[in-house]
Structure 1
Amino acid sequence: MPTSFFTHPQTDFRSAQYTAIISDLHLSEAEPVNKRFPLWKKFKTRQFFFDDVFETFLKHIEEKAQGATVELVLNGDIFDFDSVMALPDEPTFHVNWLERHRGLFPRPERSRFKIEKILKDHEEFMRALRGFIMRGNRAVFVIGNHDLELHFPSVQQEIIRSMQLPDDKKELVRFVEWFYISNQDTLIEHGNQYDPYCMCEDPINPYVRGYNYISLKLPFGNLACRYISNGMGFFNPHVDTNYIMTLSEYVKFFLKYMWKAQPGLILTWFWGSMATLVHAFVDRLAAPIRNPLRIEDRVSIIADKANAEERMVREMKELFVAPAASQPMLLTRELWLDRAFIVFIAFFLIFELMTFVRSVYELSFYWAFIPLFLLLPFFLFYSKSVTSLVSSYKEPDDRILAMASAITKVKRIVYGHTHHTRHEIIGSVEHLNSGCWSPAFLDVECTKPIDQKTFVWISPSDTPTRQAELMRFLDGKSEVINPMARG
């Protein structure tokens, strides 16, 4: 069974004066410009890369630290493996039909190819990170839901190799499974473990075994991105309102942008939704690879890298929510398959009724429209009554915050994942969310950016404990945003 690449972390990771936390960069391959349909995945084109901004940001936080070592925590979804559609020219493995149309499966050799493609298209980003490390700073990668494939040691090794670090500097880069404790005062998690649609069922044992291969069990959200979003390139997956709409909004969107580019959109959506549903349940039934003789070793390794105690790893795992894949009807509603099945059944029953009536009376099939129109108000009422729980998830609730604080013995918790900035006091816990850097736009034309470029900055204060600020990086400078409020 694969193990993590770093098993002997340096003790200096346990202390930090200055910590910068960013999340949800969603680095992926560069999408070639579609000359016929230029809006197709426009948000993924090189035009919206921010690698140069990231380099300026790193230099800025070094200046803020006034020469002291900076701990950079890349808090999940730094890489977006799910949106990579590139295929190797001469693959050493079999690429099936589904992979050719929706991206490679999460297996070691395939995931390594994907990270190679991402890193090649983001050479400036990696050069900036290399320079940051070479100047004596540290970087911690927290694994999120869209970069679950960082669990593979070969993927971690490829990231280290691409930075071309000398041996003594490689120890300044660390990968942690799902949480990290900075300076014994701040718990840092991506936060997907409390989202039923995006949680990794078992980050201690994330691998499942297939026939002659090892794979990762992906959450429902990842599968939806692969099988649905990858085939519907006018929807930006980084903004919920771009793909979670009402029926009338979908119709207007289709007529405005997609009827020429994707006249068969309904079929694309249907088979993508069915593939998502089937894959989610197949993965749900797959048992993780567990070696009873290595469980305690795994827990010990994870604890060491997270600057935690072994009991914290076990107790933090108990806070995970149940995966959405355990509720079949919930997933069918999220995928709109329930509405598709209702329409199919209605057409089938009306067809059977008309066939029976026509065997007795000579009637035109146009009479079938009468029951259809009668049923339409009930269908619309049902559609409006169904709300998506995907968009309703915001942050872990008060109970999880309080329990995580008690388990890890900290009073500050930082999340990512939701793409929404937060800074508040809930009970006795200071709660922050670092927002996102992803190419998020409110429109298909990519003229209305949600250009956050936000981060959490933790620095020494006049008191014995460090202080945390939620900041935005803009034009080479940073400013405090969203002042803390009592909750």
Structure 2
Amino acid sequence: MRYRQAPYSPDGEIAAMLDALRGEIRKGTGGSGGLHTQRDELTLVLNGDIFDLDAPRVIDNESVVHDLPRTAEHAVPAMEAILRDHPVFVAAVGRVVADGHTVVFVAGNHDIQLTLPEVRDAVRRRVVDAALHALAARDGAPAASDARELRAALEARVVFRAWFHRTRDGVIVEHGNQYDSYCSYRYPMAPFGRKRGEIQPTMGSLVSRLLVSRMGYFNPHVDSSFMLSGFGYLAHWARYYLFSGRSLVLAFAVGALRTMLELVRRRDPCRRALRRADLAAAARETGAPFPAVVKHARLFARPAEDCLGRVARELWLDRLGLVLVGLVAALACLWWMPEGLAPAVLLAPTLLVAYECAVPKPTLDAVWQGVNGAARRVARAHRAKAVVFGHTHNPEGSWEDGVFFGNTGSWSAAFEDIACTKPVFEARPLVWLRSEDGAAPDAPLSGGLLMWKDERFQPWRADARPSVPRKAEVAKRPRPALRPQATAAMRG
């Protein structure tokens, strides 16, 4: 698909934005920046799904969809391949680190492998190499005696968070997948199943691999391209499969059954000792008080493996089962009462209609509203000044009683058409929050939701939202920005 090809990658936009961000921070000090220079401090938070390890690998020009990278042995080569394919992005992040700023990678549902130490080491090594290259180009190569100390200092500025990041001025940044049952993990700090070191697959990761990536012209970055109604799938089949010699129904049925079987096979009940250890690990990694972390975790959505009926409904397996039951019952009626042909024919569709009315399917909008609602409760749990999520792809920015709630939207290769000529996003969103050096703990933040458009930062406008239908809250104009310290968050 074109959206996976280099010309349609957002790497150039991201690099230009990060270089402009560095320039804005540099203006605040009047200096050129540097590892030991007195300057405004930037914390760049890359808020999950920066890397897509759910996408199928390409081996010998063919997509491989059956093997999710669940272990370090598999995930490290996959991550290294991604980093090799995106040198512009890696170099841009390296320049941020070379200026003496901190970069935080928060794991999302598409790059949950960032919880693995080996994967973190691979990313940190490439970013630090890029930072060293930038420093050498600017200041010359360091003396051999200083090289080790310099590398250690740079490595300390590449930080990873498995669940959420908490800044010292009261900002909580989290991807948000833990409030979506299709993408949530029981233990976000160590998202493993029965086998330690092997990541538990979620319904979202399995569907991405076994369904969306195998069904032709769906773009996983655009929810509206694959979250279709029955008539929507029929129209998709007529447009792309009718004369292709391939079966959409077969691909869907096989993928849906494999997804369900995999979830059933790998079900693992919640264990209190592991959960408590997971929460303690989160408190240690983030510096958040343990009671606040406990309250935070109570907001999680139950993983889909605990709600197999909902999974069956999402995959249309329940309706398939009803149709089969109706057909069997109809055949039985015809066998015993041949004169009952008309009632027998109507039995299957009657069952299906009655089921649809009695058991409504949760909408995608309802899921996203649940994620947005969780942000408000997270703020109360941590008494935070700001909570920033991602995951929903819907940019949001609003101040409520002095607390900022934001969503960093998406910078992914999202297009409305398969030819990739109509970008979904007219502008790229980011959240930029600021606090003053030495400010009191209760001092307010400033800033808010911005957009990167026409090679510059601009206040977010409601009309810059995606042109495809979205139902998130309308963003409000951010407060005027102050000077030091900055926390910028973006999502891939």
TM-score (norm 1): 0.78
Aligned-partner Cα distance in 2 for 1:338–1:407:
38
Structure 2, unmatched stretches of 5+, are 30-39, 133-150, 462-474, 479-492
Matches within 5 A, 1:16-415: 41-65=1-25, 66=27, 67=29, 68-87=40-59, 100-163=64-127, 164=129, 165=132, 166-210=151-195, 214-261=197-244, 263-285=246-268, 302-354=282-334, 371-372=344-345, 375-376=348-349, 379=352, 382=355, 386-396=360-370, 400-415=374-389
Listed one character per residue, the Cα deviations across residues 77-122 of structure 1 (whole Å, up to 9, x for unaligned) are 1111111323599xxxxxxxxx944333411111112111211111
Do the aligned partners of residues 372 and 44 (structure 1) sit closer, same or farther apart at CA in structure 2, a change above 3 Å counting?
Answer: farther
Question: 2:476 is matched with which residue: 470, 473, 484?
Answer: 484
Structure 1, unmatched stretches of 5+, are 1-40, 90-98, 362-366
Whose relative contact order is higher, 1 or 2, with alpha carbons under 8 Å and at least 6 apart? 1
Aligned-partner Cα distance in 2 for 1:43–1:414:
27
CA RMSD of aligned residues (A): 3.2
TM-score (norm 2): 0.77
Do the aligned partners of residues 311 and 382 (structure 1) sit closer, same or farther apart at CA in structure 2, a change above 3 Å counting?
Answer: closer
Which region of structure 1 is more displaced relative to structure 2, 100-109 or 250-259?
Answer: 100-109
Corresponding letter in the other structure for 1:280? L
Instruction: State the shift of 1:252 in Å.
Output: 1.2
Do the aligned partners of residues 136 and 442 (structure 1) sit closer, same or farther apart at CA in structure 2, a change above 3 Å counting?
Answer: same
Aligned-partner Cα distance in 2 for 1:75–1:229:
23
Do the aligned partners of residues 240 and 460 (structure 1) sit closer, same or farther apart at CA in structure 2, a change above 3 Å counting?
Answer: same
Corresponding letter in the other structure for 2:315? L
Contact kept? 2:175, 2:391, Cα under 8 Å: yes
Aligned-partner Cα distance in 1 for 2:272–2:398:
40
Listed one character per residue, the Cα deviations across residues 374-399 of structure 1 (whole Å, up to 9, x for unaligned) are 75476467558743444431244687
SS in 2 for 1:394: helix
Which region of structure 1 is more displaced relative to structure 2, 145-154 or 217-226?
Answer: 217-226
Corresponding letter in the other structure for 1:470? L
Aligned-partner Cα distance in 2 for 1:417–1:151:
17
Do the aligned partners of residues 138 and 405 (structure 1) sit closer, same or farther apart at CA in structure 2, a change above 3 Å counting?
Answer: same
Instruction: State the shift of 1:268 in Å.
Output: 1.1
- Structure 1 residue aligned with 2:423: 449
Contact kept? 1:206, 1:288, Cα under 8 Å: no
Contact kept? 1:442, 1:448, Cα under 8 Å: yes
SS in 2 for 1:102: coil
Aligned-partner Cα distance in 2 for 1:282–1:325:
10
SS in 2 for 1:419: coil
Contact kept? 2:385, 2:444, Cα under 8 Å: no
Do the aligned partners of residues 113 and 259 (structure 1) sit closer, same or farther apart at CA in structure 2, a change above 3 Å counting?
Answer: farther
Aligned-partner Cα distance in 2 for 1:391–1:269:
23
The sequence identity of aligned pairs, in percent, is 25
Contact kept? 1:145, 1:222, Cα under 8 Å: yes
Which region of structure 1 is more displaced relative to structure 2, 170-179 or 255-264?
Answer: 255-264
